[in-house]
Every structure is written in C-alpha cells, then in structure tokens.
A and B are shown apart, each in its own frame.
Chain A
Amino acid sequence: MNEIEEKSKAAQEFLKGLWKENPIFVSVLGMCPALAVTNTAINSLAMGLATTFVLLCSSILVSLLKSIIPKQVRITAYIIIIATFVTVVDFGLAAFTPAIHKELGAFIALIVVNCLILGRQEAFASKNSVGLSILDALGMSVGFTFAMLCIGMPREILGSGSLFNIPLFGDSFEPWVVMILPPGGFFMLGFLLLGFNWYAQRKKVLKVKST
C-alpha cells in the first residue's frame, strides 16, 4: 500500500508541472523568455532545453545541500548555484552549438532571473528528497518547454510562414510580421491564457453541475 502511494506521489510530482501547475499557463512564471525568445520554434525549444538543464542541476544541488544552507542566506546560495549552471550552459552552447548561441544571445544569461527556477528551489527542492526534486524539476521543465513551443510555433508559422525554418507556404503567403515582433508574443500568450482559463472554468462548471 505504502509503496503504491509513494509511486503515485512521485508520478504526481512529475505530472503537475505539465498541466495542473504549468509554469507559464497557470503560474505565469518565466515571462521574460516566454515573450522574448519565442519568435521561432527552434529558439523556443533551445530556450526550453537550456532552462531544463539549469533547473534540473540546480534542483539536485539545492536538494543535496538543503541541510547545510542556513535559512538566512538561502536565496543568495540558490542564486549562486543557479548562476553557475547558467554560465555552464552559456559556455557549452557557445562551444558546441554556436549557431543557437548566436540566436539566443543575451537571453541565456537572463535564465538566472527566471522566477520559475528560483521558485522551484524555494518551494520544492529545498524541502524534498533528491529523487522527488528531480521529478519535480523534470515535470516543470517539460511543462515549460511545451508552453514555449505552444507560443513559438504559431508565432513562427504566422510571422514567417515557416516551422523549424522549413517554409510551409508558397511565395504568395504574406507573413504577419507583427507576430514575430514583441507585441506578437503578448497576443499569442493572451490567446493561450484565454483558452486555458476558459477550459479550466468550463471543467469546474461541469463538475459542479454533475454533483
């Protein structure tokens, strides 16, 4: 019984990030990358993966060190840990995938101030075991990357007429340039949040009706 409970709890920690507590659509965290780098699908994906790496590594380290870090300096310590991994990502991308590094540019360094990462350290990794922290970090990262792609893919399709740099329409397609400019990010995010909240609301209403 206990084992089953533990397993379902672990699964829950992973799954909650995907939908119920999705970092972008529900918690509305990490807005800077969600608006700024989602102008193409590739950039969205690369940003999602970079954030995944940082979140995962920081969660493991914070969870391991949770008993050593005094409460009074915990935020400082988390930021040091997060900043370290962000710099590792920055160097790593420049060394192995210079093209993506060129595209993401200044936004990589800004992962440090992504509230999603610091938030997970404070709310979860600093209070839970390494195993659960890994699941939580993975779930949140997958949810974040999914949300980034949800914003990035339509923006690229409408704004450039392509997806992952593959042209979709002929020359006759006139791209909606506004979609790849900053306002396009707000439009897309607004529409998605609208859809998300409408769905959640409807589910709630149906539930009340059925009971």
Chain B
Amino acid sequence: MEEQEIQTTPLITEEKEPSSLKLILALGIAGLISGVILVGTFIYTDPLIKANKAAATQRAIFKVLEGCESFTTLTLENDKLIEKVVNPDKEEKNDKNELLVYAGYNANKELIGFAIPGSEPGFQDIIGTIFGYDGTKKVIIGFEVLESKETPGLGDKIFKDADFQTNFTALAVEPEIIPVKKGEKQNPNEVETIAGATISSKAVVRLLNKTMAIWQKTIDDYIKENDLNIAEKDE
C-alpha cells in the first residue's frame, strides 16, 4: 500500500486543466477503439453463436420427437401452416417473433409429430422450451428446456428431474393441462408438480396450455388438409 502512494504524488501535481477539446478527443478515441474491438468480436463470434443456437434447437427437436430422422420448418401465414423455405443467406431474419413449428418425420418419411417452441415467464426469467406433440392422439410426447434461469437445485428440476420428465410421455392436452401434487395424477391431462418448485412447474403447465391454444387448431387443419396420419410407433 505504502509503495503505491509514493508513486502517485508526482503525477497529480504537474497537471494543468486540459481543454474540452482534448477531453472529447480522448473519449472519442476510447470509443473508437472499443467500437473496433466489439465489431471485430461480433463478426467473428456471431456465426458461431447462431450455429450453436440452431444446433441446440435441432438436438431438442430430435429429442422430443422419438425416432425423428428429419424435419421441416413450418410457419404460420394467414392462420395456415405453410412450409418455410429456408434460405441460408437470409438466416438472420429468423427473429423471435416469428411463429414456427417443426414437423418431424421418421426414417420412412412418415410424420411422427410436431415440435413446438414455446416460452413463458418462470420464477426468475423466461423459460424457453420446445415440446413434441402428436397431432392425432392429441398428446404431448416430449419436453425439453432450451433456456432457463430457474434456481439451481429447485426450479431447474423442470429439466433435471427424471420424474418430472415422465409427465410428458403421453400428456393429453384436452380439455386442458392441469397441475396436481406429486402422486395425485389420475387423468392423462394432469402434470405432477415438483415439491419446492411449484412456481416453475406451474409455469411449464401454463406454457403448454398457452402454446397449444395458439397451435392446436392450425395443426389439426394442417393434418386434415394434407390428409396426414401420424405414424404408429413400433414398440
């Protein structure tokens, strides 16, 4: 400590008030250097970050739709689902406000279900998820959390707790999904919440109900219109 103070004194005494121009210039240069570094970093890391996100989404789609081998991206236009033409040059226009679902196909190119992204405020921040939906049986067949800041050890059980995950193997979405206490599940449309993480569990239920309210009709129409059948799983 003492050594520092000895060195500081000569620096301060010699200085005179600099002109405003010099101050502006100094900060301007600092801003410029900072800007150059940031733009450089952004240009370098942006494609990597986007690739990470796309890879995470893709992994999640394959996970929530068991047996999925390929998928197409569908987007909502005039209340109808149409296949989105993926143009690699225009990838960055894929913003969060765009409503997307993914139709997953098995090895024989038969439709096995839809992967639907949805988000909802949880205990601390938005929980971003993607879940698998079987359009003919009207059940949710898989659930995966993409983004969450839920409390470690409590709220994060929504994606770490194996018991909670079993809720989403054949969860009926009609008439609506209802949260119940652990061990009290009787009907196919009930979700057993996690003790100590009721808010996070209920947020998941709310998320599923809300997202299904947006998509269910459109997906039904899409299946009818294209005369599709969800392939039966080989047990």
Bind each other: yes
Interface, chain A (partner B; CB < 8 A): 9, 21, 39-40, 65, 68-73, 76-77, 80-81, 83-84, 87-88, 91-92, 94-96, 98, 102, 105-106, 123-124, 127-128, 159-160, 175, 177, 180-181
Q: Are A175 and B153 in contact (CB under 8 A)?
A: yes
The main secondary structure of chain B at its interface with chain A is helix
Specify the chain B residue showing the minimal Cβ separation from A9: B3
The main secondary structure of chain A at its interface with chain B is helix
Does B41 sit at the interface, judged by CB under 8 A? Answer: yes
Q: Are A88 and B38 in contact (CB under 8 A)?
A: yes
Does B15 sit at the interface, judged by CB under 8 A? Answer: yes
Does B214 sit at the interface, judged by CB under 8 A? Answer: no
Q: 4 extra interchain contacts, Cβ-Cβ under 8 A, other than A21-B1, A70-B22, A92-B45?
A: A9-B3, A40-B152, A77-B26, A95-B45
Instruction: Report chain A residues within 8 Å CB of B149.
Output: 105-106
Q: Are A94 and B52 in contact (CB under 8 A)?
A: yes
Q: List 29 A-B contacts (CB under 8 A).
A: A65-B30, A68-B26, A70-B22, A70-B26, A71-B12, A71-B15, A72-B23, A73-B23, A73-B26, A77-B27, A80-B30, A83-B34, A84-B34, A84-B37, A84-B38, A87-B41, A91-B42, A91-B45, A92-B41, A95-B45, A95-B48, A98-B49, A98-B52, A124-B4, A127-B4, A128-B7, A175-B153, A177-B154, A180-B153
Q: Are B26 and A69 in contact (CB under 8 A)?
A: yes
The 7 closest A-B pairs by CB, nearest first: A95-B48, A95-B45, A84-B34, A91-B45, A180-B153, A98-B52, A80-B30
Does B196 sit at the interface, judged by CB under 8 A? Answer: yes
* B155-179, CB < 8 A from A: none
Specify the chain A residue showing the minimal Cβ separation from B10: A127
Interface, chain B (partner A; CB < 8 A): 1, 3-4, 7-8, 11-12, 15, 18, 22-23, 26-27, 29-31, 33-34, 37-38, 41-42, 44-46, 48-49, 52-53, 56, 125, 147, 149, 151-154, 196
A39 in contact with B152 given A9-B3, A102-B147, A127-B7 (CB within 8 Å): yes
Q: Least Cβ distance of A26 to chain B in Å?
A: 11
Q: Least Cβ distance of B201 to chain A in Å?
A: 16
B38's partner among A39, A87, A94 (CB-CB below 8 A) is A87
Instruction: Report chain B residues within 8 Å CB of A21.
Output: 1
Q: Are A88 and B152 in contact (CB under 8 A)?
A: no
Q: Are A70 and B23 in contact (CB under 8 A)?
A: yes
Please report the C-alpha to C-alpha distance between residue A159 and residue B214 in the assembled complex, in whole angstroms.
39
Please report the C-alpha to C-alpha distance between residue A106 and residue B31 in the assembled complex, in whole angstroms.
24
Please report the C-alpha to C-alpha distance between residue A111 and residue B145 in the assembled complex, in whole angstroms.
27
Q: Are A81 and B30 in contact (CB under 8 A)?
A: yes
Q: Are B152 and A80 in contact (CB under 8 A)?
A: no
Please report the C-alpha to C-alpha distance between residue A127 and residue B9 in the assembled complex, in whole angstroms.
10
Q: Are B34 and A80 in contact (CB under 8 A)?
A: yes
Q: Least Cβ distance of B157 to chain A in Å?
A: 11
